[in-house]
Structure 1
Amino acid sequence: MVPETFATDAGLDRDDDDFDPVFEEEDPALPDHRYLDRELSWLAFNKRVLELAEDDSLPVLERANFLAIFASNLDEFFMVRVAGLKRRIATGIAVPTNNGVSPSDALDDILVAAHELQSRHAAVWHDLVAPSLADAGITVVTWDTLADDVKADLGEYFSSQIFPVLMPLAVDPAHPFPYISGLSLNLSIRVRNTKTGREEFARLKVPQMLPRFVPVDTAKSPEAVRYITLEDLIAEHLDYLFPGMEILEHHVFRVTRNEDMEIEEDESENLIQALERELLRRRFGPPIRLEITEDMDDVTLGLLVRELDITDREVYRLQGPLDLGGLFSLSALDRPDLRYPKHVPSTALQLQPNEPNGKADIFQAVSKRDVLVHHPYESFATSVQAFLEQAAADPNVLAIKQTLYRTSGDSPIIEALIDAAEAGKQVLALVEIKARFDEANNITWARKLEKAGVHVVYGLVGLKTHCKLALVIRQEGNTLRHYSHIGTGNYNPKTSRIYEDFGLFTADDQVGKDLTRLFNELSGYAIEKKFKRLLVAPLHLRKGLLKAIDTERRNAEAGRPSGIRIKVNSIVDEAIIDGLYRASQAGVPIDIWVRGICSLKPGVPGMSETIRVRSVLGRYLEHSRIFSFVGDGEQKTYIGSADMMHRNLDRRVEALVRLTDPNHLAEIEGLFDLAMDEGTMSWYLDADGTWTRHAVDGDGRRLVDVQEKVMRSVATRRRSRSRR
C-alpha cells in the first residue's frame, strides 16, 4: 500500500481517471485555449510541496517529511496519470487534453517537467535538508566515512539480520531477466568469474520489510544519531552473496509500473472477483519510469533499458539515494524539537460534556441544533467516532447506514458497526472497494463486516460511491428520528489527524429523508430523484452548481449583491470553469481556494478579471470542499465530498449538504476571508499557470499561517467555554 500522503484524496485523489473531457457547446464569448493543462497543474502542485521542503523556517523533520510526500506523490502520478496517457497513445485515442494538446505532446511536456522536478528534489535533499538534519545531530552517512570498528559492527548486523533474506538472481542463458516489481529498490550487479573471466549480471532486490535507514550507532541518544541506507550496507557486502566472484559494478535502480486499473463491470459478474483479478494484473503492468543513480555505467543501463523495454526519455538519472519516500521512517525519531508543536484536537463546543470527565450525549446535542465540526482542529474521536459508538450501544437506535470509502481495518468505525450488528440493529455498510490502492484492504474489512452480520453492498455498477454519509434511525417516544452526518472526508481516524475536513451533524428531518432515499438507491433499485437539502451527483450536482453560478451572474448584471467562493482539492471540469468565466465577465467577485489541480486561468482581461485563485499547503492536508454563493443577500453554502472534476460529477455518487445555521455560515466566511487575505501565507496562481508563494511581507516578516490561526481560534473558543 502506498503511504497516506498529500496525494491521498488530494492532488491525485488516488482515483484520477479523468481522460474524457466533457466540453459544453462552444461559447463565442470565451476564447480558445482557456484552460491550463491539468497534468502540468498537478506537477505544479507537487512543486509547491517541494517548496515546503526548501523552507528553512520549518522544522527540519517536517521538511524531510515533505520530501517523502513529494516522492510518494510523484510515484502515484506516474502509476496513474502518465500510465493513462501512455495507454491512450498506444491505443490510438487521439482525444486532446483539456487545453487542446495531443496526448503525445502532453506526455512530452510532462516528462520534461518531471525530469526537472526530480532533479530539484534530489538537490533539495543533498544541499538543504540533509545538511540541516546533520546540524540537528541526524546524519545519513556513507560506508567509506565509517571507522573500522563501526564497519565491523554493521557487518555482524548484516550477517545476522539482512543476509538471510536476500535473494540474488542471476541473468544468463539459464536464468532469464527477472521480473522487477513496481517501486521496489534494486541493485544491479556485474561480476566476473575469476576462473573463466566471463562477466555476468545479477539483480538483487532490497527487502522492503527491513528498515530503509539502518542506525549506525545504536547506543547513542536521539540527539546524535547516524544512519546508513540499507542499499549502501548491502552493496558493501556483495562478496557474501557472490563468493569467488569479482564485483565489477553495482548500482541502485528503481522501476515504476503502470498500475492504472480498468475494471470491466458486468451486472452478471461478482465485483469482488473482477477486482481481485484486476489487482493481480496490476502487479505486472508495463514499466513507465526507470530511476537510476547518477553513477550507473552505460553497459548496465543499456541492459536495463533493453530488458525493461523502456525509452531513454523515461530514464531518470539522479543523485542517490533513490526513493526518498523512505524518509517517512524518520518520523519515528523522538525529536519533538524538530517537528511542529504538538496539537491536541479539542472537542466541538456543542459536543462537550456538561460535567467534567463526563460523557456527552451526542443525540441530545444534535437534536437541539446542527453541529459543524472542523477536523483536525476539532476531534474526530469525540464527534464522528463517538456518534457511531453511541449509536451502536444505544438500545433506542434501530438502524445505522453508512458509506465507507477509505478506512483502516482496525478502525473503531468498523468495530462500532460490528457491535451494532451483533446487538441486533439493522446495519448497512456501503463499501467502495474500488478506492484506488486501497482495494485489497477494502475487500478484507468488507468481508469482516459481512461475517458480523452487517449488510454490505458495493454501490452501483459504473459509479464509485465517494460521498461521506452516516444515518442513524432512533426511536424517540412514538416517532423515529433521523440523525445524519455528512462530511467532506473519509471515516478514517488515522487520516482525520492530518486531513482538514468539515462534517455536519443534523437531526433535520428533511436531511434524514434525503439520506434515506439516497441509501435506498445505493442498496436497491430506486431511481434517483431530486433532494431537498442535498445536491447529489451524478444527475443533479453539476446542474445545481451551474444554476447557482448563473444566478450570481444575473444578480451582478442586475446590480444586486453577488459573489462566489469555492474551496476544492481540484478544479478541472470545463462546464464549471466556463460558468465561472461567464460570471466573472458579468463582474461577480470569485474566490477559488484550491490545493491541487487548477485548470482555470485567473485574472485574464475580458474573461476572468474578477477571479482570484489561492492555494494553502502546510501542516495539514487541506481536504474540505465548500461552495458558497452570496445569493442577493441570502447566502447559500454547501459542504461535501465532490471536487470539480469529471469523475466526481459524472462517474461518482457525491453529496453536498446546504448549511443553514447562521453561525456556521459566518464560520465559513471567516475562513475564506482569512485564506484570501493578502496578509496570509499562500500561493497565488497567475494566468500562465505559474504559482508564486507569498510567505513574507515587504519587511521580511512571515505572513499569517491559516492553519496555525484556525488552531489558535478553536483553542480559544474551547478555553472560553471552560471558563463559563
Structure 2
Amino acid sequence: MTENRAALPVKDSKYFISRELSWLNFALRVLELTASPDLPLLEKVKFAGIMGMLHDEFAMKRLGGLRNIKRRKPNKVLDGGRTPGEEIIACREELRQQSDKVGRLVESHLRPAMNQAGIALLDYENLDVEQRRYADRFYRDAVEPILTPLAVDASHPFPFISNLGLNVAVTGEGKKSGRGKFVRLKIPANRPRWVKLPAAGASSQVAVPLEQVVAANVCRFFPDWKKLKTYFFRVIRAAKDNPWERLDVDEHEQELQPGCIIGMVTAELTYRKFAGVTLLQVSEDMPENLQLWLASQLQMDPDDIIAIKGLLATADLMKFNVEGRSDLRDPPFTPTPHPRLADPAMDDPETFFQEIRAGDILVHLPYQCFDTSVLRFIRYAASDPKVLAIKLTIYRTSKDSPIMQALMEAAGRGKQVVVLVEITARFDEAPNIAWGKKLERAGVHVVYGMERLKTHVKLAMVIREEQSGIRRYVHVSTGNYNVQTAKVYEDLGILSCNRLLGENVAALFNELTGGVSSHGYDMLMVAPHNLRERFVELIHREVAHARGGRSCGIFAKMNQLQDCDMIRELYMASSAGVPIELNIRGLCCLRAGVPGLSDNIRVYSTIGRFLEHSRIYRFENGGDPEFFIGSADWMRRNLNRRMETIVPVVDSILKVQLDEILNILKKDNCSAWDMHPDGSYRRRVPAKGEEKRSAHEMFMRRATGA
C-alpha cells in the first residue's frame, strides 16, 4: 500500500480537487436550489441571502487565507496542483460568475415575483409620490442625523472602510470651482436595510433599500455641487487564520508563542476589522475610473473588483421579514418528542434518567425535539438534587441560551459546573468571550479552550449520585448546544449511561480542563490522539474483507472531505474492490468514479430545507456493521489540529435507526447532487412516473408518523 500511496501525489489535479473551487461548487449547488421552480418564493429569497453570506465568508476566509500563503510562499503548490496565485485567479473568476448569476436571479426573477405576490421590494425610482414622501421623511427623521459625510481632498485623507459595510460614493463638482469632489457615506447598520413603506394597490407590504433612500436624498448635504452622482460599494476584508489552525502548515510548523488566549483572540478580532481587502463589490453603473481609484485608495488589486448587478450585500435578504404569507413558505414543521421521551412521566427527572438507563437514546434533530431531549437533560441536571456535577463544551450557542441559564442556575445551587467555552470559534469569538465571563460571575468553572488545539468536541456529562453509587450520564453530539440551530441543522446525538463511555468522556474532560493527556480512550476515538489511526485501521479492515471475499463497504456522511491522506486510503480501498458511498454536503477534494482510481466510490451531496450537519461512519465489517457518530469531518484540521470525538454506536436498536437514516438519504431523488469524475455535480431528478422523494420530507413524515 505504501507504493500505491506514493503514486498518488497530492499536488496533481487528476487526483485531488481544489479545496477552494470545491467550496464554490457547493455554493453553486445552493444557487441551483434557489432557482428551483417548486421552492416557495420566500424560501428562494432566504436562499439568495444564504448565497450572499456564503460569498462573503469565502472572500474573508478562503481568499484571505490564499493571500497569506501567496505572500509567504508564492511558489507553494496547493492541493489540486495550483500555486496560490493561480488558485486566486481561478476562484476570482468563479466568484465573479456566481455573483453575476445571483444578481440576475434576484433582479430578473425574485423581485418581480415578490412584486407580483404583493410583497414588493421596489427601487426608489419606482415609488409613487406618497411612498417617496414617506421614505424621505424617514430619511430626515431617522437616518440623516446619524450620517457622517467623509470627504477626500487635500485636507481629508481617504477614510477607513470597514469590513462588510455598505457605502455610498458621492461624486460631483463644485458649482464655482468646477473641481471634482468625492464623499463617502456609510449606510448605518443600526437602521433597517429594508425600509417599509405604506402599501399601495395590490401590495400588502412594500419596502425599499435604505441605501437608495440615502442616495436619493444626499443632495441635502451638497447644495453647492453640480453633476452630483451616487454609486454603491462594499469592502470585504480577510479573516485572519485562527491562531491554532494555520491554513497552509502542519501543527509542528507553528511558531506561536504561548500567552493569554483571550488576549490573542481579542487581537484577532481587532485584526479582522482592519485586515487587507480581498474583494471590492461595486454597483454595476460605477464608472471604471472611479472603481480603479477606489482600488488604489484601498491598496488592493484592481482584479479583485466585482461589479454587481442590482443589490449589494444580498446576505441581508435573510433579514427581509414578511408578516404572514405562509403560502409563500415551506409548510410549518414542529419537531416531535423522541418516542421514548414523549410520555408525560418524563416531566419527572427521576423517570427521565431512568429511561436513559434503560438503553441508549438516539436523537435526530431537527425532526425530534431538542427541548424535550437535550435541553431537558441539562435542565434536569441543573435542578435534580441527586446531580453533583455537570460538564459541557460550548462551540457555538444562541444569544439567549437556556442551556447557559441552566448551567448558571446549577452553579447557584452548589453543583460543580465546568464549561469549556471555545473562544476561537470563528465569527463567534466575541459572544463566546462574553458568555465565558458571565458564567464565571455565576460561579461556573470556565476553561477557554486548549493551547494550539481548537476544541470542537460536542459533549455533555452529568454526574449523579444514585442508590447504587455514582453514575455518569453523557450526551455525545454531532452538533452544537444551540437551541436556534437545533431547529434548522440536521444533527444526531446519543444520550447514554454506558459505563465505559462515561469513563472515557470523564478522561477527555480531564484533559480539556487539566491539560493532562489520557491514554485510556478505549471507546472514544479522539483527535489528535488516535482518531486518524483508528479510521485508517477501519478502512484497511474493509480492504482485508474485500480481498478475503467477505462482505465489505464504507458509508461516510460528513460536511467536508479534504484530508489528502484519507483520500489516498479511500482510493486504495476502491482499487481493492471496497464499495464506498460518501454523502458530503460541502467541499470534497476526492474525485469519484474515475476509471482505475475511484471506480467504486460514489459521492453525493444533500442540500435542502435543513442544513445537513451530522457525521455518520458505517463500516460493513464482513457482515457485522459498525457505526460511529461524532464531531469530526475528514479534514486535515479535524484530524490533526482540533480536539474531536467520534463514538462507536453499540446499541443494536440505534444501529438499525442509523441504517434507516442512511437508506433514506440514498433514496433521495430530488435534493441530492451526484458528483461526476470531472468534479462537477448534477442534481437528481425523479424518473418519469417516479414519486418525488426528498430526504428531508421523508424524515419529517417519519418523525410525525404521517
* Same-fold call, TM cutoff 0.5: yes
Deviation at 1:318, TM superposition (A): 1.6
What residue number does 1:464 align with?
454
CA deviations on 1:636-687 (whole Å, 9 max, x unpaired) are 1000000110110000000011112222111211222222237454100011
What residue number does 2:415 align with?
425
Distance 1:714 1:526 in 2: 42
Query: Cα–Cα, structure 1 residues 680 and 294, in superposed 2: closer, same or farther, change >3 Å?
Result: closer
1:444 partnered with 2:434? yes
| SS of residue paired to 1:248 | strand
What residue number does 1:237 align with?
217
Deviation at 1:87, TM superposition (A): 1.0
8 Å CA contact 2:422, 2:454 repeated in 1? yes
Q: 1:311 aligns with which of 301, 312, 317?
A: 301
What residue number does 1:508 align with?
498
Q: CA RMSD in A?
A: 2.0
Distance 1:371 1:313 in 2: 54
8 Å CA contact 1:474, 1:480 repeated in 2? yes
Task: Report the TM-score, using the length of structure 1 for normalisation.
Answer: 0.93
8 Å CA contact 1:681, 1:696 repeated in 2? no
What residue number does 2:484 align with?
494
CA deviations on 1:85-106 (whole Å, 9 max, x unpaired) are 1111112353321112211111
What residue number does 2:325 align with?
335
8 Å CA contact 1:367, 1:507 repeated in 2? yes
1:693 partnered with 2:674? no
Distance 2:614 2:364 in 1: 9
What is the letter of the counterpart of residue 548 of structure 1? L
Q: 2:404 aligns with which of 410, 414, 430?
A: 414
What residue number does 1:722 align with?
none
What residue number does 2:385 align with?
395
1:251 partnered with 2:238? no
Distance 2:591 2:273 in 1: 38
8 Å CA contact 2:396, 2:482 repeated in 1? yes
Q: 2:704 aligns with which of 710, 715, 718?
A: 715
CA deviations on 1:165-189 (whole Å, 9 max, x unpaired) are 1111111111100000011110101
8 Å CA contact 2:397, 2:482 repeated in 1? yes
8 Å CA contact 2:489, 2:611 repeated in 1? yes
1:92 partnered with 2:73? yes
Aligned positions of 1:194-593 closer than 5 A: 194-217=175-198, 224-263=204-243, 269-355=259-345, 361-593=351-583
Distance 1:685 1:360 in 2: 49
Q: 1:646 aligns with which of 628, 632, 636?
A: 636
Deviation at 1:703, TM superposition (A): 2.7
| SS of residue paired to 1:618 | coil
Distance 1:623 1:24 in 2: 33
Distance 1:464 1:25 in 2: 34
Aligned positions of 1:135-146 closer than 5 A: 135-146=116-127
Distance 1:359 1:422 in 2: 19
Paired residue total: 693
Deviation at 1:299, TM superposition (A): 3.3
Greater alpha carbon shift after TM alignment, 27-36 vs 88-97: 27-36
What residue number does 1:187 align with?
168
1:149 partnered with 2:130? yes
8 Å CA contact 2:392, 2:420 repeated in 1? yes
Query: Cα–Cα, structure 1 residues 623 and 28, in superposed 2: closer, same or farther, change >3 Å?
Result: same
What residue number does 2:248 align with?
none
1:114 partnered with 2:104? no
Query: Cα–Cα, structure 1 residues 24 and 55, in superposed 2: closer, same or farther, change >3 Å?
Result: farther
What residue number does 1:17 align with?
none
Distance 1:268 1:543 in 2: 28
What is the letter of the counterpart of residue 239 of structure 1? C
What residue number does 1:11 align with?
none
Deviation at 1:562, TM superposition (A): 0.6
Greater alpha carbon shift after TM alignment, 269-278 vs 706-715: 269-278
Distance 2:288 2:64 in 1: 26
1:662 partnered with 2:652? yes
Distance 2:331 2:688 in 1: 27
Deviation at 1:268, TM superposition (A): 5.0
Aligned positions of 1:68-87 closer than 5 A: 68-87=49-68
8 Å CA contact 1:681, 1:703 repeated in 2? no
Query: Cα–Cα, structure 1 residues 460 and 498, in superposed 2: closer, same or farther, change >3 Å?
Result: same
8 Å CA contact 1:353, 1:359 repeated in 2? no
Greater alpha carbon shift after TM alignment, 193-202 vs 614-623: 193-202
Deviation at 1:28, TM superposition (A): 5.0
8 Å CA contact 2:668, 2:693 repeated in 1? no
Deviation at 1:147, TM superposition (A): 2.3
What residue number does 2:247 align with?
none
Q: 2:157 aligns with which of 162, 165, 176?
A: 176
8 Å CA contact 2:542, 2:620 repeated in 1? yes
Query: Cα–Cα, structure 1 residues 267 and 301, in superposed 2: closer, same or farther, change >3 Å?
Result: closer
Query: Cα–Cα, structure 1 residues 298 and 94, in superposed 2: closer, same or farther, change >3 Å?
Result: closer
Distance 1:29 1:156 in 2: 70
What residue number does 1:18 align with?
none
Query: Cα–Cα, structure 1 residues 695 and 165, in superposed 2: closer, same or farther, change >3 Å?
Result: farther
Greater alpha carbon shift after TM alignment, 507-516 vs 346-355: 346-355
8 Å CA contact 1:239, 1:247 repeated in 2? no
Deviation at 1:142, TM superposition (A): 1.9
What residue number does 1:27 align with?
5
Query: Cα–Cα, structure 1 residues 383 and 243, in superposed 2: closer, same or farther, change >3 Å?
Result: same
What residue number does 1:103 align with?
84
What is the letter of the counterpart of residue 487 of structure 1? S
CA deviations on 1:300-323 (whole Å, 9 max, x unpaired) are 223201101222210101212111
Distance 2:519 2:348 in 1: 43
8 Å CA contact 1:188, 1:300 repeated in 2? no
8 Å CA contact 1:61, 1:330 repeated in 2? no
Task: Report the TM-score, using the length of structure 2 for normalisation.
Answer: 0.95
Deviation at 1:149, TM superposition (A): 2.8
Q: Unpaired segments of 5 or more residues in structure 1?
A: 1-22, 720-724
CA deviations on 1:434-470 (whole Å, 9 max, x unpaired) are 0001101100010000111111112321000000000
What residue number does 1:130 align with?
111
What residue number does 1:20 align with?
none
Query: Cα–Cα, structure 1 residues 239 and 25, in superposed 2: closer, same or farther, change >3 Å?
Result: farther
8 Å CA contact 1:487, 1:502 repeated in 2? yes
Query: Cα–Cα, structure 1 residues 356 and 636, in superposed 2: closer, same or farther, change >3 Å?
Result: closer
8 Å CA contact 2:163, 2:235 repeated in 1? yes
What residue number does 2:251 align with?
none
8 Å CA contact 1:189, 1:247 repeated in 2? no
Deviation at 1:475, TM superposition (A): 0.2
Runs (4+) of structure 1 exceeding 6 A deviation are 23-26, 264-267, 356-360
Q: 2:585 aligns with which of 595, 607, 611?
A: 595
Query: Cα–Cα, structure 1 residues 410 and 679, in superposed 2: closer, same or farther, change >3 Å?
Result: closer
8 Å CA contact 1:238, 1:247 repeated in 2? no
8 Å CA contact 1:171, 1:177 repeated in 2? yes
CA deviations on 1:565-623 (whole Å, 9 max, x unpaired) are 00000001111111111111111111100000011111111221111111110110000
Query: Cα–Cα, structure 1 residues 360 and 201, in superposed 2: closer, same or farther, change >3 Å?
Result: farther
1:40 partnered with 2:40? no
What residue number does 1:19 align with?
none
Q: How many percent identity over aligned positions?
A: 38
Query: Cα–Cα, structure 1 residues 261 and 584, in superposed 2: closer, same or farther, change >3 Å?
Result: closer
Deviation at 1:537, TM superposition (A): 0.4
Deviation at 1:246, TM superposition (A): 2.4
Deviation at 1:493, TM superposition (A): 0.4
